[in-house]
Structure 1
Amino acid sequence: MFDRIAELAIRRTRLVLIVATLAVALLGALGAGAFGKLVTGGLDDPSSDSSRAGRVIEERFGGETNLVLLVGADGGLDSPAAERAGRALSAALAEEPNLANVVSYWDTRGPALRSEDGEQALILAHVRGEGAEREENLREITGGIVADHAGEGGLTVQAGGGGAVGRDMAEQLGRDLLLAEAIAVPLTLVLLLFVFGGVVAALLPLVVGVVAIAGTFAALSVLGGVTDVSVFATNLTTALGLGLGIDYALLMVSRFREQLAAGASVADAVRHTVRTAGRTVAFSAATVAAALAALLVFPQYFLRSFGYAGIGVVAVAAAGTLLVLPALLVLLGHRVNAGRLPWARAARRPRAVDASGWGRLARLVMRRPARTALPVLAVLLLAASPLLGIAFGTADERVLPEDAESRRVAAALQENFAGNDDTALRVVIDEPVPPAALEAYAVELSALNGVVRVETGAGTYADGRSAPTGPGSPGLGRPEAQRLTVVSALTPKSDEAQRLVHAARALAPPADTEPLVGGVDAELVDSNAAVGGWLPLAATLVVLTTFVLLFLFTGSVVQPLRALLLNLLSLGAALGVVTWMYQEGNLAGLFGFTAQPMDTAMVVLMFCVAFGLSMDYEVFVTSRIKELHDAGEDNRSAVVGGLGHTGRIVSAAALVLAVSFFAFGTSRISFMQMFGIGTGLAILVDAVAIRGVLVPAAMRLLGRHAWYAPRALRGLHGRFGLREGGPEAAAAAEAPKATGRV
């Protein structure tokens, strides 16, 4: 197959490039509409009790509160001007067709809708629609009705609630993405100029990156039209598309230039490059895609969206590298070295690979493997130690900057209102319930630790007293269903709030009923349970697919085990550092985030992405080591030569890819910031500590056992194994051995 790809690039160069140009233009046009179809949210398990409760409330009661308007008045809430303006705003909202269940302080005079200091009041509502439709409805309402009435009678109005938080996240994401790209792209180009030492060669990886990003945005646009896809998948698309394009192009261009420097013709250099480095790219892409495919097992579309984006960007990046890049190399030929920069022209003659920096490091490590590896292991284990105290949560308004409007509203609700209806538990019974049974159940709920009151259609209950403490809310009762609002004084998403969810679910329900408990705290409990329940399967799939692919590539059962253990070590160190930062609050002042439990979904995402990229570099290094080993080198010289050839490529690729992710450290959404910093750190740790020190140390300690496989598996590999370039590559392995130049 790889020979045919090379021949296509050589014989149909212009046709390949014309078709590729047209395809990228079409994909770019299709992908331009992706942002209008992508949505926020997606952290809930659709089959969980909280999600089922939300659907029942939507069908029977018009939907849960997802818009909270915090209203203040210059002359006081009860001044005639504020009274008129408040009633006018409430009436306008009640007539809005995209709103339901509008409850206003000026209509009900409910004490729970008035702040304790009497300076602010609430209007609660449900914004209709799903996904992008709901977000657009919210923007029209806040930018229309709310904006038109703000200022009348001295009113000030701020929008909060789950819908407004999602809106603020989406808007902040758009700004963050532009800033990250404005930082990453110029830095990437500068780094590529230093790595390649020439303008033409440095631009080639950007071509592959553009192809990968355009293709993946097109796929997300199509998927967004048929299913829910998270808008945050765009971040992964840009960072991973640019990064993998650079990784793969760097490997291919470096091999091509090696062959030209060794005296090969342009056509032969392309053939050898596709046969060797091209095969490595294809295999590497398979391992990265396998790691990201594990995200598809989770029920939350937030995680599945990253699986779609990740698999898409890996596949398109590999296709662009294998199909478009060889044709560009044929077209350029020796001009790939054009535009050489002064320091590149003035560089000394290339040295043998075992005399290069990475070759010398490998030789040093293999001479004293334990002495060099133990300090590195100690540092990585110390970095991973914060994982012993890791706690998990889900995203809420605290991931936004403190000046975000929805976050300010949430803070006001927590500080100034007696019990926060927006974060209350929503208990729904989708069956008729006798009044006496409903009252007894509400009384039991009101006696639970931390509960301030329980509102039903017939009355309000508190402190476990059987007599109602206030009137009910008629909108909570239906002949065919009942709804109870359990308002607590507990901090949302705290351990105490989660215990309240479990306690509410453990209560004996009214006879012949099955209450469903929803609300933000129930969603957290269910989300963590869903991730935890599916995590073993996802981890098993990652481990098994990685093991099988690496076995097919190396013919050894030891190499996959060695790779898995070392990759887990680098990932543990990176996760430990971000836990130390984002959970324990270290460096919060520098990066501007609020410490909180680690976001469960983002930890899973970071693990899958960083694991896949670690395997990317594993394949780069191992492929060259195996190529030399298959050509007759002993274990030590194969490792030294393999790292001498690929060390600079891996370190350069890792640095450039890390920059793409570190750029998201400028995000003002804390979980995106954590993901960018953590993934970038994992990439650098893997490229330097793992590839530079622990891989050669492990190979030295394993010795000839590094390539061990049982006889039956050796036969299996002989029939189905993937070989780096086949016999031709083995014969040609000596050709570029004289130079370590990229």
Structure 2
Amino acid sequence: MLDAWGRFVYRHRWWVLLLSVLCLVLTAYLRQYGGKLGSIEFASQTEAGRTSRLINEQLPSSAPSYYVIFTSDELLATEPRFVQEMQRALEPLRRSPDVLGVRTPYDGGNVNPQFISKDKHSAYAVVELRRASDERLQDIYRELHDEVRSSELRVIQSGTLPALYEFQQISSEDLRRAEVISFPASLIMLLLVFGSVVAAAIPLGTGLFAIVGALTGTLLLARYMNLTVYSQNIVTMLGLALAIDYSLFIVSRFREEINGSPIDVALGRTLSTAGRAVLFSGITVAIGMLGMTFFRLADIGSIGVAGTVVVVFSVFYAFTLLPAILAILGRRVNSLRVPFVHPERRGQGNGYWHRLSMAIMRYPWQVLVVVGAILLLLGVPFLHIRLALSDINALPKNAESRRGVEMLRNEFPGGDLNPIYVVLKYDQGSPLTPERIGQLYDLTRWLEQQPDVVRVQSLTNLDPRLGKQQYQQLLSQPVSALPAPLRQAVEGSVGKQIVVVQVYTDLDPNSDQARDLVRKIRSSHPQVDGQVLVTGQTAYDIDSLQLIEEDVPKALAFILVTTYVALFLLLGSVFLPIKAFLMNVLSLSASYGALVWIFQEGHLSGLLNFHPGPINSALPVILFCALFGLSMDYEVLLLSRIKEEYERTGDNTLAVATGLEKTGRIITGAALIMITVFVAFTFANTLVIKSIGLGMAIAVFVDAAIVRTLLVPATMRLLGQWNWWAPGPLARFYRRFGISAEGEAEDKKTFTPVNTNS
């Protein structure tokens, strides 16, 4: 089928090229109708997510707001000159129709000490905006940001809205920086691999087509579903790497096939061999990406969707645009040769890769044990991994919103406290019956007695002079009959079914002690008539990890089963897919260990410019799903070529050596290009993208330089003829439904397996 497609493309090469270009134009045009990438709401399936939704639905929601912090080295925040300058700087915000109000320390005639820093040299204002869509709020903040200026005071703007805005801006800057680095570097490496300007330009052009299509497809999907802002980075990272990778395989095989063959035959043969490997590589990468969609943590699922889209476009252009260009160029694909670079000499005779594989296959057990032990040892730091949701530290140290949050935490009273929201939910009846008020009183006193709890804010501790019975009598009255301060407290913390209690601790939100406190509140609280629910950042951390643990088995089963079936249809072997899985585990082990050693323990933090801390909860899952498919990339190319040689010669050992010799230079070049693309993203200022880029680069290096070079020859030598074995029913199934490069050739010759393992 693939051979026939190659011949079809040759006959209609100009039409196929035109349709590919029209497809590019169409996707570029449709991009203007795409949605907007942004932040993802936390999964509502968790206790923390459901509780947050309850609070938002049943209590008067506060207006969207952010902080504007003013600082002076000389002036105190209470001095008239400081006050006047701060009020003057805030005046443009007060005049804006999008601003609901501006609260300062000086409202009401008295200075509010909560708004003044501990050293008295800083003060902040709270800017409240009118309700609008998330997209509109981002636009409003961008417009208002530059309105606040002062020649006497330093100004920093911070809060959730500024942080989200900066995440998007920095993510876009990271993307542009990575493109500037990766495209020229990839072109240089392609020139070294091909030795021809024309041949080197083809994969890069195919990559551009794939990226444009995938970005448009992702943005169009964003109109109908929430997709994280990181999706654009993932699309560019994978799109460039995969498209160049697949183009490299196909172009190199085409250059090999045109020696002595007509162009149409060479193109058909190229797609039935290298194209077959690319197709199955795309399938395995897409399987890994689709595995992410099994996770209810929305960031993971949205990256999986974006990753699947880019794989589809990469494979699509590898089978349309790329063969059409090759059909048009023919032997001119080798035009504009690079001096002193002679890639055509590769794969001839018993070269370096042939000699290396034969040497390894003389000592297979020794190589397998030593190399496997080293890779497992590199993964040891992963045993000490700490996972948490990303916080403001995911932004670079010089980001304005991060500096503002750090000032609020470190320099203002109560800024370092971690709020935990405890919600009492009742299915029926009023939350303020005498019995339930008494239970709320008991729960409040129990919370106040817990270690590391600094203070508790509840309806039943507003006045320490009142006891349980007095609160029961007072709060049982109609809300309209309550004193004004108490009425405001009731309106702000009591809903139709809920009562909210705020617990403040000075524990770090990601610490084990904070998590233990949340777990204790959930499991050991005093008996109440309804449910006790907990939310807040620490609760989000706990629930996200639990959610991931629950979803891992489903995703893992999907990835392993579907990948196994795909590899069996490619290779017709029972054992080779299992071997490939085990090799992937070793690659991932080294990559995971490196991530913990670098990003959690802080090694190279100065060089890579980041703040060490817990690993993002989603990162191990994203890396596993992405790398499982990417690691199969070279495995598929190598094993499919080895299988070709085995079907030609019937000699397992010779097939391994020849297959490695034929693919050694191409896989090495492809790996170097892919590593270059991924390393370009380690210059990102957002920690998640930096971590993903470095993790993928390490895994690809390990896979191409160690697993493919050392472990594959050793394990295939040990398995011998078992590499190609399948029980009778499965063997018949493969002969009927499997896709074999030689199966499309009229002169296919089947060899009887011989024992080459003695």
Q: TM-score, normalised by structure 1?
A: 0.90
Q: Secondary structure at the match of 2:421?
A: strand
Kindly state the Cα deviation for residue 191 of structure 1 after the two structures are TM-superposed.
0.5
Q: Secondary structure at the match of 2:264?
A: helix
Q: Which residue of 2 aligns with 1:20?
A: 20
Kindly state the Cα deviation for residue 114 of structure 1 after the two structures are TM-superposed.
4.0
Within the candidate set 724, 735, 753, 1:707 is matched to 724
Is 1:394 matched with 2:399? no
User: Residue 58 of structure 1 contacts residue 64 of structure 1 at CA under 8 Å; is this kept in 2?
Assistant: no
Kindly state the Cα deviation for residue 403 of structure 1 after the two structures are TM-superposed.
1.4
Q: Secondary structure at the match of 1:516?
A: strand
What is the rounded CA distance, in whole Å, between the counterparts of 1:65 and 1:422 in structure 2?
A: 22
Structure 1 residues 162 and 450, CA, compared in 2 at 3 Å: closer, same or farther? farther
Q: How does 1:274-423 map to 2 (within 5 A)?
A: 274-344=271-341, 347=342, 350=345, 353-420=348-415, 423=418
Kindly state the Cα deviation for residue 670 of structure 1 after the two structures are TM-superposed.
2.0
Q: Which residue of 2 aligns with 1:438?
A: 440
What is the rounded CA distance, in whole Å, between the counterparts of 1:128 and 1:47 in structure 2?
A: 29
Q: Secondary structure at the match of 2:741?
A: coil
Q: Which residue of 1 aligns with 2:675?
A: 658
Is 1:718 matched with 2:735? yes
Letter in 2 for 1:375: V
Q: How does 1:219-238 map to 2 (within 5 A)?
A: 219-238=217-236
What is the rounded CA distance, in whole Å, between the counterparts of 2:188 and 2:677 in structure 1?
A: 13
Q: Which residue of 1 aligns with 2:163?
A: 165
User: Residue 419 of structure 1 contacts residue 488 of structure 1 at CA under 8 Å; is this kept in 2?
Assistant: no
Letter in 2 for 1:37: K
User: Residue 203 of structure 2 contacts residue 248 of structure 2 at CA under 8 Å; is this kept in 1?
Assistant: yes
Q: Secondary structure at the match of 2:289?
A: helix
Structure 1 residues 94 and 16, CA, compared in 2 at 3 Å: closer, same or farther? same
Q: Which residue of 1 aligns with 2:76?
A: 76
Q: Work out the number of aligned pairs and report it.
A: 722
Kindly state the Cα deviation for residue 701 of structure 1 after the two structures are TM-superposed.
0.9
Q: How does 1:656-735 map to 2 (within 5 A)?
A: 656-728=673-745, 731=748
What is the rounded CA distance, in whole Å, between the counterparts of 1:192 and 1:97 in structure 2?
A: 55
Structure 1 residues 210 and 129, CA, compared in 2 at 3 Å: closer, same or farther? farther
What is the rounded CA distance, in whole Å, between the counterparts of 2:495 and 2:298 in structure 1?
A: 34
User: Residue 69 of structure 1 contacts residue 157 of structure 1 at CA under 8 Å; is this kept in 2?
Assistant: no
Structure 1 residues 91 and 333, CA, compared in 2 at 3 Å: closer, same or farther? closer
**In the TM superposition, what whole-angstrom CA distance separates every residue of 1:636-672 from its partner, at most 9, and x where no partner exists?**
0111111111121111111101111100111122221
Q: Which residue of 1 aligns with 2:39?
A: 40
Structure 1 residues 506 and 78, CA, compared in 2 at 3 Å: closer, same or farther? farther
Deviates more, 1:701-710 or 1:659-668: 701-710
Letter in 1 for 2:647: D
Deviates more, 1:406-415 or 1:594-603: 406-415
Q: Secondary structure at the match of 2:649?
A: coil
Letter in 2 for 1:230: T
**In the TM superposition, what whole-angstrom CA distance separates every residue of 1:470-517 from its partner, at most 9, and x where no partner exists?**
x77635234524332222111222222222222232354774333432
Structure 1 residues 352 and 389, CA, compared in 2 at 3 Å: closer, same or farther? closer
Q: Which residue of 2 aligns with 1:196?
A: 194
Kindly state the Cα deviation for residue 460 of structure 1 after the two structures are TM-superposed.
4.5
Q: Which residue of 1 aligns with 2:457?
A: 455
Q: Which residue of 2 aligns with 1:739?
A: none
User: Residue 114 of structure 2 contacts residue 412 of structure 2 at CA under 8 Å; is this kept in 1?
Assistant: yes
Q: Which residue of 1 aligns with 2:248?
A: 250
What is the rounded CA distance, in whole Å, between the counterparts of 2:574 and 2:88 in structure 1?
A: 73
Structure 1 residues 129 and 243, CA, compared in 2 at 3 Å: closer, same or farther? farther
Q: Which residue of 1 aligns with 2:481?
A: none
What is the rounded CA distance, in whole Å, between the counterparts of 2:520 and 2:281 in structure 1?
A: 48
Is 1:498 matched with 2:515? yes
Q: Which residue of 2 aligns with 1:527?
A: 544
Kindly state the Cα deviation for residue 560 of structure 1 after the two structures are TM-superposed.
0.8
Structure 1 residues 49 and 121, CA, compared in 2 at 3 Å: closer, same or farther? farther
Structure 1 residues 594 and 102, CA, compared in 2 at 3 Å: closer, same or farther? same
Within the candidate set 583, 601, 608, 1:584 is matched to 601
Q: How does 1:203-222 map to 2 (within 5 A)?
A: 203-222=201-220
Gap runs ≥5 in structure 2: 472-484, 752-758
Deviates more, 1:57-66 or 1:496-505: 57-66
Structure 1 residues 532 and 343, CA, compared in 2 at 3 Å: closer, same or farther? same
What is the rounded CA distance, in whole Å, between the counterparts of 2:305 and 2:406 in structure 1?
A: 35
**In the TM superposition, what whole-angstrom CA distance separates every residue of 1:596-616 from its partner, at most 9, and x where no partner exists?**
011121221112111111111
**In the TM superposition, what whole-angstrom CA distance separates every residue of 1:298-334 from its partner, at most 9, and x where no partner exists?**
1122111211111111111111111221111110011
Structure 1 residues 141 and 333, CA, compared in 2 at 3 Å: closer, same or farther? closer
Q: Secondary structure at the match of 1:449?
A: coil
**Identical aligned pairs, as a percentage?**
33
Structure 1 residues 352 and 162, CA, compared in 2 at 3 Å: closer, same or farther? closer
What is the rounded CA distance, in whole Å, between the counterparts of 1:521 and 1:61 in structure 2?
A: 22
Within the candidate set 419, 427, 432, 1:424 is matched to 419
Structure 1 residues 545 and 447, CA, compared in 2 at 3 Å: closer, same or farther? same
Letter in 2 for 1:707: W
User: Residue 628 of structure 1 contacts residue 730 of structure 1 at CA under 8 Å; is this kept in 2?
Assistant: no
Kindly state the Cα deviation for residue 373 of structure 1 after the two structures are TM-superposed.
3.5
Letter in 1 for 2:76: G
What is the rounded CA distance, in whole Å, between the counterparts of 1:348 and 1:478 in structure 2?
A: 74
What is the rounded CA distance, in whole Å, between the counterparts of 1:589 and 1:56 in structure 2?
A: 43
Kindly state the Cα deviation for residue 583 of structure 1 after the two structures are TM-superposed.
0.6
Structure 1 residues 117 and 327, CA, compared in 2 at 3 Å: closer, same or farther? same
Q: How does 1:31-110 map to 2 (within 5 A)?
A: 31=31, 34=34, 37-42=36-41, 44-63=42-61, 67-72=65-70, 74=72, 75-80=75-80, 82=82, 105-107=105-107
Kindly state the Cα deviation for residue 127 of structure 1 after the two structures are TM-superposed.
6.1
What is the rounded CA distance, in whole Å, between the counterparts of 2:99 and 2:320 in structure 1?
A: 51
Is 1:561 matched with 2:572? no
User: Residue 444 of structure 2 contacts residue 460 of structure 2 at CA under 8 Å; is this kept in 1?
Assistant: no
Q: Which residue of 1 aligns with 2:179?
A: 181
> CA RMSD for the aligned pairs?
3.1
What is the rounded CA distance, in whole Å, between the counterparts of 1:729 and 1:385 in structure 2?
A: 52
User: Residue 582 of structure 1 contacts residue 598 of structure 1 at CA under 8 Å; is this kept in 2?
Assistant: yes
**In the TM superposition, what whole-angstrom CA distance separates every residue of 1:14-46 from its partner, at most 9, and x where no partner exists?**
111111111101112323665x6110345x222
Q: Secondary structure at the match of 1:342?
A: coil
Structure 1 residues 568 and 127, CA, compared in 2 at 3 Å: closer, same or farther? farther
Q: Secondary structure at the match of 2:345?
A: coil
What is the rounded CA distance, in whole Å, between the counterparts of 2:365 and 2:169 in structure 1?
A: 51
User: Residue 87 of structure 1 contacts residue 107 of structure 1 at CA under 8 Å; is this kept in 2?
Assistant: no
What is the rounded CA distance, in whole Å, between the counterparts of 1:100 and 1:55 in structure 2?
A: 24
Kindly state the Cα deviation for residue 227 of structure 1 after the two structures are TM-superposed.
1.1
Q: Secondary structure at the match of 2:618?
A: helix
What is the rounded CA distance, in whole Å, between the counterparts of 2:116 and 2:388 in structure 1?
A: 30
User: Residue 40 of structure 2 contacts residue 227 of structure 2 at CA under 8 Å; is this kept in 1?
Assistant: no
**In the TM superposition, what whole-angstrom CA distance separates every residue of 1:76-101 from its partner, at most 9, and x where no partner exists?**
33334555676788998799786789
Kindly state the Cα deviation for residue 722 of structure 1 after the two structures are TM-superposed.
2.3
Q: Which residue of 2 aligns with 1:241?
A: 239
Letter in 2 for 1:140: I
Letter in 2 for 1:408: R
Q: Which residue of 2 aligns with 1:29?
A: 29
**In the TM superposition, what whole-angstrom CA distance separates every residue of 1:515-568 from its partner, at most 9, and x where no partner exists?**
432222221111111112111221221111121211222221110110000111
Structure 1 residues 455 and 477, CA, compared in 2 at 3 Å: closer, same or farther? same
